[in-house]
Amino acid sequence: MVPSKQLVLPALAIIMAALVSACASKPFLQVQYRLPSASQALTGDRIALAISDRRNDDAFLSSNAKASIKNFNGTYSLVVLRDDGSKHFTGVYDLDSLLKEIFKHRLENEDVDVIATADRADASLEIQLKEFRLDNVDRKWVLRMSYRAELSKNGGLIAKESVNGSAERLKVMGKSDAEKILGDLVTDMVNRLDVARLLHKAR
């Protein structure tokens, strides 16, 4: 028996409503971070990693963005993608912990040993977050991010690099579009850091 349109349409509507409800109920935003190709250029380097939030305004969502992402609780889920196509869900984090986890993967991808304490490391890398803001302007998601990376050794600054960027995406599906632009820009911003140039200064 072929289902009638009268039965199929309500069923589809119920499925779509369930999917929308499930997506809307998440209190976190998903970040998909894509690693660059792996390297062994920095094998043996031991680095202590720290995140410092230096933003003037620590609110990630603008007032306009909050109207579209109403139940966001300030946490982010992280999925790490590798160039072999594999995906790895690592957990749900606040912003500082999210950035530390992402930069840890970035360093380890260069075969760097990320050490918990600075006294056992060859040098210390501090990521100073300057801006991280999502806005909704003229039916577009607008995301801005900037940070400064400082490498120090024996208490003295030996290298630094600033990274700034922004991205826009048309708001069609709401939260899913915001998550797409978030993953794309975070990937670009983290991978743009010249890790090899910085760490060679510590040798």
Q: What is the pLDDT of residues 135-154, one digit of tens each?
A: 999 889 999 999 999 999 98
pTM score, whole prediction: 0.85
What the chain holds in terms of domains, given with CATH numbers, is: 28-200 (3.30.160.150)
Strand order across the 75-81 sheet: 28-34, 75-81, 87-93
- Which phi and psi angles does 58 have, rounded to 5°? -85, 10
CA dist list (Å): 108 to 46, 168, 193 = 10, 30, 14
- Determine the pLDDT at residue 12: 47
What local confidence, expressed as pLDDT, does residue 78 receive?
98
The rounded percent of the chain whose pLDDT value lies above 70 is 87
Average pLDDT over residues 182-201: 94
- Quote the pLDDT of residue 14: 45
Mean pLDDT of 191-195: 95
User: What Å distances lie between residue 2 and 6, 23, 34, 167, CA to CA?
Assistant: 11, 31, 45, 47
pLDDT on residue 17: 44
- Model pLDDT for residues 20-61, shown as the tens digit of each residue: 444 456 899 999 999 999 888 888 899 999 999 999 999 999
Mean confidence (pLDDT) of the chain: 88
Q: Which one, of 68, 17, 57, 20, lies nearest residue 178 by Cα? A: 68
- Burial of residue 134 (CB within 10 Å: 0-12, 13-18, 19+) is buried
Q: What is the pLDDT of residue 118?
A: 87
